[in-house]
A = this chain, B = another copy of it.
């Protein structure tokens, strides 16, 4: 069996199907958007085509609604669960890909005008501040009392844990771009307290 034709997207879908039960591509999209989608984009078309691929591999089944929107509902198979668990049992050693167009532009900023460089830094700072604020908002909603259903407890925890990394990254990015805005004179990544408390106080 070609068990090694599976990529990150495959495991994303398998994992969501395992945790959330039978799902439509749209439901997958919603879940992704609320979690990993914050820092790892999965175009919606992927979440329509990937489950179909999993079906051909015997890792999921497809059922089509007969009424209304006639949506396709996918469900994980035992083989799918096995593949997922096997993947989880073998920690990935692949390095993080940090693909940031802004950083790429900064890398070449010496080839353009100082004004362009400053504009870049300011826009990037704004972008990351906005993202950071969105995380904070998210977290506040999350902590809202009366929302942690018993069964959802575990999921919410893992969700929060993973999002914490995204939040941490955005904090770092804000600190970084702020330094860039302040100019080359400021020493970079050489001070303590580069990253403050991510509680929103460093967003404005």
Contacts and interface: CB of A to CB of B under 8 A. Distances in A.
Chain A residues touching B, majority SS: helix
A189 B198 contact: yes
Given A96-B102, A98-B166, A105-B92, A111 B18 contact: yes
Copies of this chain held together in the complex: 2
Contact of A97 (B41, B112, B116): B41
Contacts of A124: 91
Contacts of A191: 197
Contact of A19 (B103, B105, B108, B169): B108
A181 interface: no
Interface string A171-204: 1110110001000100011011111111000000
Interface in A93-132: 93-113, 116, 119-120, 123-124, 127, 131
A125 B119 CA distance: 36
A162 B97 contact: no
Interface residues of A, number: 77
Interface stretch (A21-29, A32-40, A52-60): A32-40
